[in-house]
Every structure is written in structure tokens, then in C-alpha cells.
Structure 1
Amino acid sequence: MVDVEPMQQAKRPVNAIAGPYGHPLHPALVTIPIGAWITSLVFDIASHVVHSETFLADGSRWLIAVGVLGALAAATVGVLDLFAIPTRTRAFRTALVHMSINLAVTAAYAIGFVIRGGQPATPVPIGALALSAAALAALTVSGYLGGELTYRYGVRVADEITQADGYRTTPVATTIEKEGH
């Protein structure tokens, strides 16, 4: 038999900064680095295809910076969500791996930002492009683990009683009831 209390604990925010019950901020904030880093890779690849590639290389570098800043914001509230998960559980171990991969990915992108320098090389050097591709692949693994935490283990997801509110049906009023008969 499973003790339900640890599962309920993982659903509640530790701090208001993490977002209210049933509305965690971490999933919303992760869209910033994910979108920025995917687009930066597209720009990196495109810099090898178009003739005027400087704007793509420069844009890619700044998208990486936006992604790193977004990742730091997401990590801040993600750590608060981590504190809600009871230690010595499979969910906690999964969260630690998720966090570790994300930190490595963020560090890789920060390094990528620095090695690209102030004036963009055009097209984007293959090494920088490969670093971004590898980091994005690792981010995909981490995203899978984040999905495990949410959809399998229910971390920071409202409990089933709360969720049931969204599935209650209201009786459809008949024509007679609408007309007041």
C-alpha cells in the first residue's frame, strides 16, 4: 500500500513564488528557453544556407542568451517544486536527474554564447552548432523526465478530487424549464 501523504505533499507549493496550487510557474517558464534554443539551432543551420548569414548568427547568439536567462528563471521556481517532493522517492530521484541535465544544458548554452564572441562568425562555426544540437538533444531527455514528473507522478498537479471539478456535467435545461413552465 502506498502512503498518500507524500503524493499530496508533492502537489502543494512550498512557496508562493512557485505558483499557487494547481498552477505551477515552472512549466510556463520552461517554454522560454525551449523556444529560444530551438529557434537558435534553426538560425545556426540557416546561417549555412543563406547568403547574408550575419543576422542569423547574431540572432542565434542572442536567442541563446534569452534561453539562458529564461532557464535560470525556470530553475528558480523548479527548485521550489523540488522541495515539495519527499526525498527517498522515485519522483525525487527523477527530479534530481531532470534538474542535473537542465543545469548541464544551461551551462553548455552559456559556454556556447561565450565561444561565439561579440562579433558573430558567419556562418556559425560547426563546433558551436554541434554544441547547440547536443545540448538540445539533452534538453529533450530532460523534458521527457519533466513529463514523467508531471503526468506520471503528479508533481504540482491538482489532486483528482480537484480535477473532477472540470469533468462535472451540468444538466441541460429542457425547453419547458427555459420557458418557465
Structure 2
Amino acid sequence: MNDLERAKRPKNSLAGPYGHPFHPVLVTVPIGAWVASAVFDIVALAGPSREAVFAEGAYWLIGIGLVGAVVAAVFGLMDLLVIPRGTKVFRTGLLHMSLNLVVVILFAVDFAVRANQERDQASVGGFVLSLVALALLSASGWLGGQLAYHYGVRVANEETQREGFR
């Protein structure tokens, strides 16, 4: 089996079956939670009528995103381990992982900042941290798309894909 074929196959079934990795599905939890937390921050900062509810919601959504990110990272690491070292795709995977680690750290700091203040008040500092983290997450997501759609990591091989067009 060549390097390209190895990068398409899981090392073990926990990573998801051939052509159906679990990592891309799992990343929807932290991404969705963190984007929703930013929306909640905007609503909380926009007006005092429901500030407490949305500020508290943003806090908990960040926590949910952190838990989801840890789970997604485990599966992402399993996918990274099938990529041959020393290749452009492996370096892309390392950059994707590194950016995600920075994002998780930023959201963990954001979560801690919010935990140490009144959670019924909107956090401007937390909102700014969230925006920076979401910008980095967007760059990392683009790299994840490169890994899957451009390089075909953990995607079915071309012969399997051709079957759908016959």
C-alpha cells in the first residue's frame, strides 16, 4: 500500500470506517457552540433587556465547545497518524492541529475570564477573545478542508469515487 492509500485508511476502526472519518462530524459541536456563543455575546452586549440570559448562555456554550473540541481532537489525531511524515500534507495537518490548539487555549482563557466575573453581565473582553479565536478557527477550518477535499486524507480513493459516476 502506498503513502496515499495509507492516508485514506484508518489505523483502527475507532477513527471511523474507510471513507467516513468521525473527526469532520465531531468538529461541528465545538464550531457550532463557539459561533453560537459569539451570537449570544452580540445579543447580550446589544441590550440590557436579556443580557443576563445571553451572557450566561455564551459562557456555557464556550464550555460545551471546549468539551467537544477535546473529543474532536482525539479523532483528528488518529487521522493525522495515518499521514506519512515529511510530506506537505503532514505539515498541513500539523499546522491545522497547532491552530486548533491555540483556539482551544484562547477559548479556555475566555471561559476562565467569564468564570471569574459575574456571569449575568456581558463580557467585552471575552467577546474579543472569542472573535480572535473564531478568526483562527476559520483559518484552521480552511486547512482542514485542504486536507480532506484537496489532498483526500481519509477520503475514499479515486477508484471508489469513480463507482458513483458509472
Where on the TM-score scale, by shorter chain, does this alignment land: which range? Answer: over 0.9
Q: Which amino acid aligns with 2:73?
A: A
Once the two structures are TM-superposed, the CA of residue 164 in structure 1 deviates from its matched residue by: 1.6
Q: Which amino acid aligns with 2:101?
A: L
- Provide the rounded CA distance (Å) in 2 between the counterparts of 1:116 and 1:13: 39
Is 1:76 the counterpart of 2:74? The answer is yes
- Provide the rounded CA distance (Å) in 1 between the counterparts of 2:45 and 2:164: 49
Once the two structures are TM-superposed, the CA of residue 121 in structure 1 deviates from its matched residue by: 4.5
Structure 1 residue runs without a partner (length 5+): 169-181
Residue from 129, 154, 159 that aligns with 1:156: 154
**In the alignment, what sits opposite 2:145?**
147
Is 1:62 the counterpart of 2:60? The answer is yes
Is 1:39 the counterpart of 2:17? The answer is no
- Provide the rounded CA distance (Å) in 2 between the counterparts of 1:72 and 1:17: 15
- Deviation sequence 1:5-36 (CA, Å, 0-9, x none): 11111000012110000110000000000000
Is 1:23 the counterpart of 2:20? The answer is yes
Q: Which amino acid aligns with 2:29?
A: I
- Provide the rounded CA distance (Å) in 2 between the counterparts of 1:7 and 1:80: 16
Q: Which amino acid aligns with 2:52?
A: T
Once the two structures are TM-superposed, the CA of residue 114 in structure 1 deviates from its matched residue by: 1.0
**In the alignment, what sits opposite 2:86?**
88
- Provide the rounded CA distance (Å) in 2 between the counterparts of 1:166 and 1:66: 37
What is the aligned residue count?
164
- Deviation sequence 1:124-174 (CA, Å, 0-9, x none): 221111000000000000000000001111000000111122222xxxxxx
Residue from 91, 95, 109 that aligns with 1:97: 95
Q: Which amino acid aligns with 1:115?
A: V
Once the two structures are TM-superposed, the CA of residue 52 in structure 1 deviates from its matched residue by: 2.0
Secondary structure at the aligned position of 1:155 is classed as coil
Secondary structure at the aligned position of 2:136 is classed as helix
Structure in which a larger fraction of residues adopt helix: 2
Structure 2 residue runs without a partner (length 5+): none
Q: Please, what TM-score do these two structures have when normalized by structure 1?
A: 0.88
Q: Which amino acid aligns with 2:119?
A: P
**In the alignment, what sits opposite 1:11?**
8
**In the alignment, what sits opposite 1:120?**
119
Who wins on radius of gyration, i.e. which is larger?
1
Contact persistence 2:55–2:123 (CA under 8 A)? no
